[in-house]
Chain A
Amino acid sequence: MGKYVGQSMPRKEGTDKVTGRSLYVDDIVLDGMIHGTTVRSAVPHGRITGIRFDPAIPWDEFVIVTAADVPGENVVTMLIADQPFLAHDVIRHPDEPVVLLAHPDKHLLAAAREHVHIDVDPLPTVFDIESSLQCNTLLFGADNVFKRFDMTKGDVDAAFARDDVVIVEGSYETGAQEQMYIEPMGMIAVAAPGQGVTVWGSLQCPYYVHKALKPLFGLPAEQVRVVQTVTGGGFGGKEEYPSILAGHAALLSWKAGGVPVKIIYDRAEDLACTTKRHPSRTRHRTAVTRDGELVAMDIDFVLDGGAYATLSAVVLSRGTIHACGPYRCPNARVVGRAVATNLPPHGAFRGFGAPQSIFALERHLDHVARAVGLPPEELRRRNLLNRGDTTATSQTIEEAIDLGAMLDDALNIAGWAEKKAAFAVHNADPANTTKKGMGLATFFHGSGFTGSGEVYLASVVGVEAGPGGHVTVLAASTEIGQGTNTIFSQIAADALRIPYELVEVAQPDTARVPDSGPTVASRTCMVVGRLVQDASEALVSTLRDATFLKAGDYTAEQFAGAVDAYLERFGTLRIYSKYKQPPGVVWDDKTYRGAAYAAFGWAAYVAEVEVDTLTYSAKVTDFVAVQDIGTLINPQLAAGQVEGGVAQAIGWAIYEGVDWREGHMANNQMTNYIIPTAADVPPIRVYFHSVPFSYGPSGAKGVGELPMDGPAPAILNAIEDAIGVSIRRAPALPEDIMEAVLAAAGPTTSEVNHG
Chain B
Amino acid sequence: MAEVAFGKVAITFTVNGVERTVETYPMARLLDVLREELRLTGTKEGCGEGECGACSAFVDGKLVNTCLVPVIQARGATIETIEGLATGDELHAVQQAFIDAGGAQCGICTPGMVLATVALLREHPDPNEAQIREGLAGNLCRCTGYIKIFDSVATAARAIRAREDASGHGGGAA
Residues of A at the B interface (CB closer than 8 Å) are 8, 10-11, 13-24, 26-27, 29, 179-184, 230-235, 266-267, 480-483, 636-637, 639-640, 643-648, 669-671, 675-679, 681, 683-684
Interface residue from A14, A15, A27, A647 paired with B41 (Cβ < 8 Å)? A27
Closest A residue, CB atoms, query B107: A17
A232: chain B residues at CB < 8 Å are: 44, 106-109
B49: chain A residues at CB < 8 Å are: 267, 669-671
Can you list 15 A-B contacts with CB-CB less than 8 angstroms, sorted by A residue number?
A10-B99, A14-B99, A15-B91, A17-B104, A17-B107, A18-B114, A183-B108, A184-B45, A232-B44, A232-B109, A266-B48, A481-B105, A636-B148, A670-B49, A677-B146
Q: CB distance A684 to B48 under 8 Å?
A: no
Known contacts being A181-B142, A182-B142, is A640 close to B46, with CB within 8 Å? no
Q: CB distance B107 to A679 under 8 Å?
A: no
Q: CB distance B144 to A644 under 8 Å?
A: yes
Q: CB distance B91 to A18 under 8 Å?
A: yes
A639: chain B residues at CB < 8 Å are: 102, 147-148
B104: chain A residues at CB < 8 Å are: 11, 14, 17-18
Residues of B at the A interface (CB closer than 8 Å) are 35, 39-49, 51-52, 54, 81-83, 85-86, 91, 95-96, 98-102, 104-111, 114, 132-134, 136-137, 139-150
Q: CB distance A671 to B51 under 8 Å?
A: yes
Q: CB distance B106 to A183 under 8 Å?
A: yes
Q: CB distance A681 to B108 under 8 Å?
A: no
Known contacts being A19-B82, A20-B43, A644-B143, is A678 close to B107, with CB within 8 Å? no
- In the complex, what distance in Å separates the CA atom of A480 from the CA atom of B143? 10
Q: CB distance B107 to A681 under 8 Å?
A: no
- In the complex, what distance in Å separates the CA atom of A646 from the CA atom of B148? 13
Q: CB distance A640 to B102 under 8 Å?
A: yes
Interface residue from A22, A184, A678 paired with B146 (Cβ < 8 Å)? A678
B109: chain A residues at CB < 8 Å are: 182, 232
Known contacts being A18-B114, A19-B83, A677-B140, is A26 close to B45, with CB within 8 Å? yes
**Interface-centre pick from B54, B105, B133, B141 (highest chain A CB count, 10 A):** B105
Closest A residue, CB atoms, query B134: A679
- In the complex, what distance in Å separates the CA atom of A266 from the CA atom of B55? 14
Q: CB distance A24 to B108 under 8 Å?
A: yes
**Interface-centre pick from B41, B104, B133, B143 (highest chain A CB count, 10 A):** B143
Q: CB distance A670 to B91 under 8 Å?
A: no
Interface of B (DSSP majority class): loop
A480: chain B residues at CB < 8 Å are: 106
A14: chain B residues at CB < 8 Å are: 98-99, 104
Distance in angstroms from A88 CB to nearest chain B CB is: 32
B106: chain A residues at CB < 8 Å are: 181-183, 231-234, 480-481
Q: CB distance A669 to B99 under 8 Å?
A: no
Q: CB distance A11 to B102 under 8 Å?
A: yes
B108: chain A residues at CB < 8 Å are: 24, 181-183, 232-233
How many pairs, one residue from A and one from B, have CB atoms within 8 Å of each other in the complex? Answer: 171
Q: CB distance B107 to A643 under 8 Å?
A: no
Distance in angstroms from A362 CB to nearest chain B CB is: 20
- In the complex, what distance in Å separates the CA atom of A233 from the CA atom of B140? 12
Closest A residue, CB atoms, query B28: A107
**Interface-centre pick from A480, A483, A670 (highest chain B CB count, 10 A):** A670
**Interface-centre pick from B82, B114, B146, B150 (highest chain A CB count, 10 A):** B146
A231: chain B residues at CB < 8 Å are: 106
- In the complex, what distance in Å separates the CA atom of A182 from the CA atom of B136? 15
A266: chain B residues at CB < 8 Å are: 48
Interface residue from A637, A670, A678 paired with B51 (Cβ < 8 Å)? A670
**Interface-centre pick from B48, B110, B145, B150 (highest chain A CB count, 10 A):** B145
Q: CB distance B145 to A643 under 8 Å?
A: yes
A644: chain B residues at CB < 8 Å are: 105, 142-145
Known contacts being A233-B142, A235-B142, A482-B105, is A24 close to B48, with CB within 8 Å? no
Interface residue from B82, B137, B140, B148 paired with A640 (Cβ < 8 Å)? B148
B40: chain A residues at CB < 8 Å are: 20
B110: chain A residues at CB < 8 Å are: 17-18, 20
Q: CB distance B102 to A8 under 8 Å?
A: yes
Q: CB distance B81 to A20 under 8 Å?
A: yes
- In the complex, what distance in Å separates the CA atom of A669 from the CA atom of B141? 16
B96: chain A residues at CB < 8 Å are: 18
Distance in angstroms from B21 CB to nearest chain A CB is: 21
Q: CB distance B137 to A679 under 8 Å?
A: yes
A16: chain B residues at CB < 8 Å are: 107
- In the complex, what distance in Å separates the CA atom of A193 from the CA atom of B64? 46
Q: CB distance A20 to B147 under 8 Å?
A: no
- 7 more contacts with CB within 8 A, not counting A15-B91, A482-B105, A643-B148, are A18-B104, A24-B41, A183-B46, A232-B109, A669-B51, A671-B51, A678-B136
- In the complex, what distance in Å separates the CA atom of A174 from the CA atom of B149? 30
A636: chain B residues at CB < 8 Å are: 101-102, 148
- In the complex, what distance in Å separates the CA atom of A684 from the CA atom of B150? 12
B139: chain A residues at CB < 8 Å are: 678
- In the complex, what distance in Å separates the CA atom of A438 from the CA atom of B54? 35
B85: chain A residues at CB < 8 Å are: 19
A11: chain B residues at CB < 8 Å are: 99, 102, 104
Q: CB distance A18 to B148 under 8 Å?
A: no
Closest A residue, CB atoms, query B89: A15
Closest B residue, CB atoms, query A107: B25
A26: chain B residues at CB < 8 Å are: 35, 41, 45
A677: chain B residues at CB < 8 Å are: 136-137, 140, 146
- In the complex, what distance in Å separates the CA atom of A646 from the CA atom of B147? 11
Closest A residue, CB atoms, query B144: A644
Distance in angstroms from A59 CB to nearest chain B CB is: 19
Q: CB distance B144 to A18 under 8 Å?
A: no
Interface residue from A18, A230, A483 paired with B95 (Cβ < 8 Å)? A18
- In the complex, what distance in Å separates the CA atom of A506 from the CA atom of B44? 25
Interface residue from A182, A234, A678 paired with B133 (Cβ < 8 Å)? A678
- In the complex, what distance in Å separates the CA atom of A661 from the CA atom of B101? 43
Q: CB distance B46 to A684 under 8 Å?
A: no
- In the complex, what distance in Å separates the CA atom of A234 from the CA atom of B108? 11
What 5 A-B pairs are tightest by C-beta distance, nearest first? Answer: A20-B42, A481-B106, A232-B108, A17-B107, A647-B145
- In the complex, what distance in Å separates the CA atom of A20 from the CA atom of B40? 9
- In the complex, what distance in Å separates the CA atom of A482 from the CA atom of B143? 8
Distance in angstroms from A505 CB to nearest chain B CB is: 15
Q: CB distance B141 to A182 under 8 Å?
A: yes
Q: CB distance B142 to A681 under 8 Å?
A: no
Q: CB distance A647 to B148 under 8 Å?
A: no
Q: CB distance B133 to A670 under 8 Å?
A: no
A637: chain B residues at CB < 8 Å are: 102
Known contacts being A14-B99, A15-B99, A17-B110, is A670 close to B52, with CB within 8 Å? yes
- In the complex, what distance in Å separates the CA atom of A681 from the CA atom of B144? 11
Known contacts being A24-B44, A232-B106, is A19 close to B142, with CB within 8 Å? no
- In the complex, what distance in Å separates the CA atom of A19 from the CA atom of B91? 8
